[in-house]
Structure 1
Amino acid sequence: MNFLFTYGFYGISVLLLAAFVVSYLHDKRRIRVGMLLTSGLLMLALSLMITLIRIADESGTVRYAAILGAFAVVLLLPLLVVGTGAGLIYNARILWRKEGFKLNNLLTLALGLLIFLYLGLLVSSPLWTDHEELAMPILLMTAITGYLGFVFLCYLVSCVLYNLVRPKPPRDYIIVLGAGLKGDKVTPLLAGRLNRGIEFYRKQENLPYVPPIFVVSGGKGSDEMISEAAAMRNYLLEQGIPSEWIRMEDRSVNTLQNMAFSKQIMDAERGEGNYTCVFTTNNFHLFRAGVYARKAGLKAEGIGSKTAFYYLPNAFIREYIAILSMYRKWHISVIIAIVLMFGLAGLLLWWMDRSAGVGV
């Protein structure tokens, strides 16, 4: 029975990892790819842990192994959590100094403070006091936090996997996704996207292929002097890209429209699906942009431009929130299910306590 129990976990690990391979090869632009890989690796780690415990039990050292494991959890996990919270707050300080005080730069600070608030609640938790009626809400909050943390881990895994994809020439088009402007000039962030596209263009130009056509995509914001597409076109011309190799898409106001409207331009020139393309954006935005490309019916792989390291934590948190919003119906359903499970557990415990009281 123990044999079947142990190797059953290994079987589940293999199935999850096999499903990951199939899903990855079919479409890399789905968060389930990261979920399958993360779940498979976690299940594999659990299987190995069970195997080690069995070996330790058979050799009579299980007590020492348990003590070592408990020591690691009790000491290292709090240090990891505290270090993460402190690192996020420190990152917010660096971000403000380099980028200025903006509302969208508050995410790392907010998350860091929430981590310390959560730790404070656990330290002074009703779980360690006589107010047992508050224990269930604390456990419920922990479960919801654990779920959101797991989704964040899966999202990061999906991002890393998608950033590892390296599209190769030849491609017919390069879509450059817009970002904010500074006056009528591109920002360093947007210049990075354009330079990544130019790098791909030059690479294909040096091979025996026709160079790809740029589709610069971005409309004019209410606080912008010209459209992002116009500013990007000007930048490409300054970098020596011929005007006949540039198409402008200047209607879009978000990433989904970037993809959909750019697709319309390419479909009109070559016919629907009769071309190949890549898109460029920043590495932190690459996965979500790929998801929107899929939603727009565009078969395109992304190439990411590098982003300053200090900017990445805040950017990834913002992207994660956007991913949660994109699939909000699913996540709300899961959270409601967790609440209902804890509610039923609370009712069961109340009924058991009441029954015990009546029996007495």
Structure 2
Amino acid sequence: MDFLFINVFSYGLTALVLFAFMISYLRDKRRIRVGMLLTLGLLMLAFSLMISVIRAADEIDTVRYATVFGALIFIVLVPLLVIGTGAGLIYNARILWRKEGFKPKNLLTLGLGLLIFLYLGLLILAPFWTGHEELALPVVLIATITAYLGFVFLCYLVSCILYNLVRPKPPRDYIVVLGAGLKGDKVTPLLAGRLKRAIAFYRKQEAMPYVPPKFVVSGGKGSDEMISEAAAMRNYLLEQGIPDEWIILEDRSVNTLQNMAFSKKIMDEESGEGRYTCVFATNNFHLFRAGVYARKAGLKADGIGSKTAFYYLPNAFIREYIAILSMYRKWHIAVIGLIVLMFALIALALWWVNRSVGV
């Protein structure tokens, strides 16, 4: 009877969370809470199904054996998956260095891979810490914070996948192309991918009975760049046969938020605030964060993402995740602070109990 109540309650709570996800998704897809609600809902659904299986196992021996077998597979596969992830990240770092060069921004996959093996080492050595029980609580604290950051990363990936599934359709009045680094005065392959994706959208709308959208190429001049990113993008578009009068330059921005804000100002001045439609073009790994910045800038626009070389994606997604953590750092610091406070109270309680027993 108790299991039945827990099962019904868990299914009800799961339905409520998934309903909240649907409402949040329909209202604004550019929020990480959309991914959090879906991830939490799916985890709760898995828990509810597990309870259902356990209830059924009381009556059917086959289900009981299947449950035990499934648990054993889970126990074996999870460590292998973690080890494989760590090894894959380190191997990816080697490929990235060979293709993109040894740069600080390309060290993220190596760092995460090494941290995974360091963490596994701590867990493996934990049973041999006899006589050092005082280390148990700090290890559990680290594990809890790691689990929280891992959950946030999973939610971020789910948010990215959901947002990449959005397919803005013509007609649109503008296409905002977000800048990236240059090589001399030429666009890099990464930036060329964004421009090609924008051109494909332009051609698609041009083939319809609509006026094609104007390009707003957005990006200022870096200290190590010969010309502004906007000027380099304009030159590329001209080479691809895009009319010059269909290209608008925004050459002051130095980050994605400014890309969105300054481009919005240009479009507002030309067409009137709220009297136009637009999309923005960037790489698929950057699409979700760019959407978040579009929302922050007050720009009603979804994005179209260009494909990125597979070897580049792990490092890029880690970099984007760190940027998302930084964007919402106050929330994450508060949560981690609460976790640390909880463990501090547990440590204080254990000290008080040991002191009382000693007395």
TM-score, normalising length: structure 2: 0.97
Q: Give distance in 2, aligned partners of 1:37 and 1:11.
A: 15
Q: Give distance in 2, aligned partners of 1:218 and 1:146.
A: 37
Tell me how far 1:73 sits from its aligned partner.
3.6
Contact 1:126 1:132 in 2 (8 A): no
Q: Which residue of 2 aligns with 1:166?
A: 167
Q: Which residue of 2 aligns with 1:11?
A: 12
Q: Which residue of 2 aligns with 1:216?
A: 217
Q: Which residue of 2 aligns with 1:76?
A: 77
Q: Which residue of 2 aligns with 1:259?
A: 260
Q: Which residue of 2 aligns with 1:145?
A: 146
Q: Give distance in 2, aligned partners of 1:232 and 1:301.
A: 21
Q: Give distance in 2, aligned partners of 1:231 and 1:267.
A: 24
Q: Give distance in 2, aligned partners of 1:89 and 1:289.
A: 28
Tell me how far 1:239 sits from its aligned partner.
0.3
Q: Which residue of 2 aligns with 1:38?
A: 39
Contact 1:249 1:261 in 2 (8 A): yes
Q: Which residue of 2 aligns with 1:205?
A: 206
Q: Which residue of 2 aligns with 1:351?
A: 352
Tell me how far 1:75 sits from its aligned partner.
1.4
Q: Which residue of 1 aligns with 2:321?
A: 320
CA RMSD of superposed structures (Å): 1.3
Tell me how far 1:106 sits from its aligned partner.
0.4
Tell me how far 1:126 sits from its aligned partner.
5.7
Equivalences for 1:105-254 in 2 at 5 Å?
105-125=106-126, 129-254=130-255
Question: Residues 353 and 66 of structure 1: is their aligned pair in 2 closer, same or farther, counting only changes over 3 Å?
Answer: farther
Q: Which residue of 2 aligns with 1:310?
A: 311
Determine helix, strand or coil for the equivalent of 2:7: helix
Contact 1:175 1:280 in 2 (8 A): yes
Q: Give distance in 2, aligned partners of 1:151 and 1:70.
A: 25
Determine helix, strand or coil for the equivalent of 2:226: coil
Q: Give distance in 1, aligned partners of 2:236 and 2:176.
A: 15
Contact 1:126 1:135 in 2 (8 A): no
Q: Which moved more, 1:58-67 or 1:254-263?
A: 58-67
Supply the AA of the counterpart residue of 1:42.
L
Tell me how far 1:54 sits from its aligned partner.
1.2
Determine helix, strand or coil for the equivalent of 1:124: helix
Q: Which residue of 2 aligns with 1:301?
A: 302
Tell me how far 1:130 sits from its aligned partner.
2.6
Q: Which residue of 1 aligns with 2:277?
A: 276
Tell me how far 1:346 sits from its aligned partner.
1.5
Contact 1:237 1:243 in 2 (8 A): yes
Supply the AA of the counterpart residue of 1:113.
L
1:288-336 CA distance string (max 9 Å, x none): 0000000000000100000000000000000000000000000000000
Q: Give distance in 2, aligned partners of 1:155 and 1:116.
A: 23
Unaligned runs of at least 5 residues, structure 1: none
Contact 2:18 2:41 in 1 (8 A): yes
Contact 1:176 1:215 in 2 (8 A): yes
1:106-151 CA distance string (max 9 Å, x none): 0000000000011111111267523111000000000000000000
Determine helix, strand or coil for the equivalent of 1:248: strand
Supply the AA of the counterpart residue of 1:231.
A
Tell me how far 1:353 sits from its aligned partner.
2.5
Q: Give distance in 2, aligned partners of 1:102 and 1:121.
A: 29
Contact 1:219 1:253 in 2 (8 A): yes
Supply the AA of the counterpart residue of 1:343.
A
Contact 1:34 1:158 in 2 (8 A): yes
> Identity of counterpart residues, as a percentage?
79
Tell me how far 1:342 sits from its aligned partner.
1.0
Tell me how far 1:65 sits from its aligned partner.
5.3
Contact 1:91 1:108 in 2 (8 A): yes
Tell me how far 1:71 sits from its aligned partner.
2.1
Q: Give distance in 1, aligned partners of 2:67 and 2:340.
A: 32
Q: Give distance in 2, aligned partners of 1:341 and 1:40.
A: 26
Q: Give distance in 2, aligned partners of 1:169 and 1:81.
A: 43
Tell me how far 1:57 sits from its aligned partner.
2.2
Contact 2:3 2:55 in 1 (8 A): no
Tell me how far 1:66 sits from its aligned partner.
6.0
Q: Give distance in 2, aligned partners of 1:341 and 1:61.
A: 42
Supply the AA of the counterpart residue of 2:78.
L
Q: Which moved more, 1:65-74 or 1:320-329?
A: 65-74
Equivalences, count: 358
Contact 1:127 1:135 in 2 (8 A): no
Q: Give distance in 2, aligned partners of 1:354 and 1:60.
A: 49
Supply the AA of the counterpart residue of 1:318.
R
Contact 2:54 2:64 in 1 (8 A): no
Q: Give distance in 1, aligned partners of 2:282 and 2:48.
A: 39
Q: Give distance in 2, aligned partners of 1:201 and 1:356.
A: 76
1:58-78 CA distance string (max 9 Å, x none): 335686456435422431111
1:205-234 CA distance string (max 9 Å, x none): 000000000000000000000000000000
Does residue 1:334 correspond to 2:348, yes or no? no
TM-score, normalising length: structure 1: 0.97
Supply the AA of the counterpart residue of 2:43.
L
Q: Which residue of 2 aligns with 1:285?
A: 286
Question: Residues 101 and 71 of structure 1: is their aligned pair in 2 closer, same or farther, counting only changes over 3 Å?
Answer: same
Q: Give distance in 1, aligned partners of 2:60 and 2:129.
A: 36
Determine helix, strand or coil for the equivalent of 1:355: helix
Supply the AA of the counterpart residue of 1:195.
K
Determine helix, strand or coil for the equivalent of 1:58: coil
